[in-house]
Structure 1
Amino acid sequence: MESVSSRSSTRSRARRDLDEDPDDLFDLDIGTSGTAAAISTATAGVGLTRVRLSASSELKEFSGRDASEEKARLWLNRLKSAAWRDGMTGEEVCGQFSDLMSGPARQWYLQLPKKVKKSWTELMEQFRVQYGGKGVSMASRYYHATQRPDETPLDYLYRLNVAGLRANIPYANGTTEEKREHVEHFIRTLNSQEADLAS
């Protein structure tokens, strides 16, 4: 049987070796080789320790500063997917959610009631309302749409057409006047450079 003093001297020797060799920073067996070997042998029958990185460790923080609705929805979908792959409960996702917030999004999160912070469905719903555009009418999205700096005029027209369909704007099968209004709205909301070319 190993005494307490011999175990502590083994650990201090392992720490000393770790300090001397920077390549051993990720050697998981230092100081716990007997335990790690027993666990891995008991579970896998192999003397190797396997480390599985969680999918949620790859997630980036969400700041909410310059995030569009699409980026916010994409971030939320990535979080849900990572939580599913890691087998996390709703409570665990809520706990991790706060760690992934930064900047204005963190301030938004901190002002939420505790009840919302502890319920994954309520937290997700509040996030969608705040950053995902839920609760904003389709007509409002159509009339406030503008061309993004990284978007071509044709891509913007496609996006505006979809927003028009969702808002029940009759530009496709409407009267000539309704079609003209749609085209004029498109030209008005183009970036200034493209608008100069269109007029």
Structure 2
Amino acid sequence: MSKSYPVIGCCGIECGLCPRFYTEGSSKCPGCGGESFEKLHPACSFKTCCADKRKLEVCSQYAEFPCRKFEDRSKIERDSFVRHKRIFINHEMIKSGGLKKFIFGLGEHISVLRQALEYYDDGRSKSFYCIAAALLSQAALHSALSEASGIEGDNKAKAKALRALLTGCARSENVELKLIK
């Protein structure tokens, strides 16, 4: 089954904030349930159970959520894949506010990320921007992008400035913008 919202994984990962979602070529990931997803991730047990078997978008729409796949919360949240940090928060937001409201909010983060990639990409900042878009508040992201809009120079200079602004926002929000080791 293809999903209506490939930007959010059945498991709760924000696919639309992943560097591979924005990669060109054979390593591009279409997001959970997106076109050709099964060719890249044929054994995804979350999608098989949630979307294919139960015809749901995300696991938290299932009455018996969380299932045993989510038992070791601390292990999932410690994973070096930064978007794993938000899996449980995402599911809680979907359960309390509904999927469409969640997708709207995620769309705001994706919009800022796309602007950063379009106007401030030096060829080395994609992962950093994805992490920032996943972990910082919408207000911080919009503030950094707004302040960066007045910066002149080539992509390298603009990327350096935006990275500094996002790092400052992260400090203010007590967020670390790096992989978990």
Q: Using structure 2 for the length normalisation, give the TM-score.
A: 0.30
Structure ranking higher on relative contact order (CA contacts 8 Å, 6+ apart): 2
Q: Using structure 1 for the length normalisation, give the TM-score.
A: 0.28
